[in-house]
């Protein structure tokens, strides 16, 4: 697990949540730091982005040690 700053450190964020590394990469591949700062801890707002919602649905049934490359879909 990795610690994800719900508001990026560059935007003075301090709160973190544990996320799987592949999910962490997907979040940062689909959102800018400014967008993440506005969204904050609102998980539902992250999943409103089609690409991240589809990713979450795809990865949901994968084993905990699953890893795959991610790419930006902005």
pLDDT per residue rounded down to tens, the chain (74 residues): 999 999 999 999 999 999 999 999 999 999 999 999 999 999 999 999 999 999 999 999 999 888 877 666 55
Question: What pLDDT score was predicted for residue 8?
Answer: 97
pLDDT for 68 equals 78
Per-residue three-class SS string for 2-59: EEEECCCHHHCCCCEEEECHHHHHHHHHHCCHHHHHHHCCCHHHHHCCHHHHHHHHHH
CA-nearest of 36, 34, 4 to 17 is: 4
pLDDT of residue 71: 64
């Amino acid at each position: 697990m990795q610690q994800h700053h719900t508001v990026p450190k560059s935007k003075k964020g301090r709160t973190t949540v544990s996320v799987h590394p592949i999910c962490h990469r997907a979040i940062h591949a689909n959102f800018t730091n400014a967008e993440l700062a506005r969204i904050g801890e609102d998980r539902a707002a992250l999943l409103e982005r089609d690409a991240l919602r589809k990713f979450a649905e795809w990865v949901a049934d994968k084993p905990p040690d699953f890893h795959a490359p991610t790419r930006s879909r902005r």
